[in-house]
Amino acid sequence: MDSILKQLQEEYNLDIESPFTIRVGNETHQLHCLIKGYGAKNGMVIDKDWYKIKAIQEELEKNDYGCSCIEITDTEGFQEVLDDWGKSNA
């Protein structure tokens, strides 16, 4: 896990899995991270590369994940992102 994600984890008390790997059919996809407890039931999958998310977006949504194409470069203002996603009901 990179240092920015560790800072987010500590500052906002987040449950983060990084990298996040998911199997879709016969392919394994690796994305930057999964932030659990926000957005969708199983959390928010994050990656800066929209094409990686778009390729599996339907499968992510079918499996109760939300997704967001953002590059996390610092922790300042991240509470606004969390508020926008909202707490999940998991």
Reported as a single tens digit per residue, the pLDDT across 39-77 is: 999 999 999 999 999 999 999 999 999 999 999 999 999
Report how far residue 24's alpha carbon sits from residue 30's, in angstroms, rounded to the nearest whole number. 11
**Average pLDDT of the residues of the chain:** 95
Report how far residue 80's alpha carbon sits from residue 84's, in angstroms, rounded to the nearest whole number. 6
Report how far residue 62's alpha carbon sits from residue 76's, in angstroms, rounded to the nearest whole number. 32
Residue 33 has pLDDT above 70, yes or no: yes
What's 20-80 look like in SS3?
Answer: EEEEECCEEEEECEEEECECCCCCEEECCCHHHHHCCHHHHHHCCCEEECCCCCCCCCHHH
Confidence of residue 90 (pLDDT cuts 50, 70, 90): low
